[in-house]
């Protein structure tokens, strides 16, 4: 959930939410990391590749780790996968538009 939506849900300002999070040891709202991983999981799920279940499990484990500790960074392995998926999507889009 984005920071603004969370603040609205709790009926506080975004500034107050940030202040409370900092007091609780959450230096940065992890929404973008979680959204990135969820999008990556959906992209990988769309492929019928033998190793995709292993990759999806890894992504879910990383999401759980970030839920437990929002200061964790996305692993290099996951970032590399993200980049590969982006390139693949870009290539597919180029092929789809080129066929018209």
Q: What is the mean pLDDT of the chain?
A: 87
List, for residues 68-100, the tens digit of each pLDDT value: 888 888 999 999 999 988 888 888 888 877 654
What's the pLDDT at 99? 55
59 vs 11: CA distance, rounded Å: 32
Distance of CA 68 to the CA centre of its chain: 15
What's the pLDDT at 40? 92
57 pLDDT band, cuts 50/70/90, is very high
Using the CB atoms, write b or e for 27-37: b if 16+ within 10 Å: eebbeebbebb
Residue 62: is it exposed, middle or buried by C-beta count within 10 angstroms (0-12/13-18/19+)? Answer: buried
Q: Does the global pTM surpass 0.75?
A: no
């Amino acid at each position: 959930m984005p920071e603004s939506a969370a603040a609205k849900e709790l009926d506080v300002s975004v500034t107050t939410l940030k202040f409370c999070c900092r007091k609780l040891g959450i230096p940065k709202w992890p929404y973008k990391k979680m959204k990135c991983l969820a999008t990556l999981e959906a992209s990988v799920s769309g492929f019928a590749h033998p190793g995709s279940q292993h990759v999806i499990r890894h992504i879910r484990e990383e999401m759980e780790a970030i839920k437990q500790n929002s200061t964790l960074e996305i692993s290099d392995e996951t970032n590399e996968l993200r980049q590969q998926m982006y390139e693949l999507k870009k290539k597919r889009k180029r092929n789809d538009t080129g066929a018209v």
